[in-house]
A and B are shown apart, each in its own frame.
Chain A
Amino acid sequence: MSEGLTASKARNIFYGGSLFFLVVFGALTVHSHFYAVNTSTNAEGLTDSVVHGKRIWEENSCINCHTLLGEGAYFAPELGNVWVRYGGRDDPEGAREAIKLWMQSQPSGIEGRRQMPQFNLTDEELDALADFFKWVSEIDTQNWPPNDAG
């Protein structure tokens, strides 16, 4: 540590610099906020059903097994692109049915296989969840994940 630096100089650098970086970070956050609302996500497509789907996602704590856009637990597959993986871009109805059937057939009970609980969702709730997955899959994520495997 150089001799020229005193504790009070270091303190002033700390306070001044931190404030500077906080302001820059805040400004970039504001920009990113509007970018998310106007550009990268489908704000108009954020229907009641999608919002309901997000709530179901939260109420059942899906994030503590799965990842969503790479964040969450690493115990079960990525679901940010599950809609795409199930072929939803070409065949939305088929993907929706496949997701609902999957949810209804859990847990598999197969020995040595990771088990997903049965969440007893109604048909309407399953539709909302599928809508949520569809909406998430359309977020501009800078081309992440690298492939459909998620």
Chain B
Amino acid sequence: MSKINKAIGEIQNLTQMAEQDQWMNRIHPLVKLLLTVMYIGVTVSFDKYDFSGVLSMAVYPIIIFILSDLSFKNALYRMRVVLPVVCIVGVFNPFFDKEVAGYIELGTTADGVMRTLVVTGGVVSMLSLMVKGFLTVTAAYILIATTTIEKICYALRLIHVPKIIVTEILLIYRYITLLLTEAKRVVQAYSLRAPGQNGIKFSAWGSLVGQMLIRSMDRAENVYDSMCLRGFDGEFFIGEKVAFRGRDAAFLLSGIVVFVVFRCFPVFEMVGELF
């Protein structure tokens, strides 16, 4: 029960964050969408052995977290469900790819023997996959936390993604909340009539889940009807001044420059050579 409430609360927090009036929220949604897509593309494109290159892409989320008032702690907390999945992705690489990629010196022992740790290609590629996963999820989080779903849909329409797909995305997003509220109601109604019972009896699961789905689908249909009755036809009108302004262009350009520089030059190594 309290878990459902928490989940509903999380979604609502996220939406409210996206609605705040911060500079990052005011950036044109299309700019944020494009940058996020580009960022994900660039990050994923690094070679799987290029760990330092992948790591250097962390610069974008770091800058955003510093400049905007997003909290990194909250971000980690909200992403906790997907992060383990991201970590599992590369976990078998070390077993398959045993080629030696390098050594790490651990110093010498008392009797003068050099101790080294062998790093295999598998370990490197596992780490870079994990970091890639983490960075892409973080970038998506930044987009969602600073842009309302309506604005994202609006941006998608600007680049001519078909109406039906965009509407579908919007409805799925809204459906999550509906499903959760329905789940809450059904569980509440059940527990009020089954006092002193911990959890839900297995025999009741089927009908409860069925009820939940039917009811939430009915409500989703109603919501869609309600949208259509008020003039919705697949186009999004987000109302606020959506003009493309100077600072949007500046943001987009600096993003692209950073991505290109970090993709084409081994920035970390170059900085290291300066010292």
Q: Do A and B interact?
A: no
Binding site for B on A (CB under 8 A): none
Binding site for A on B (CB under 8 A): none
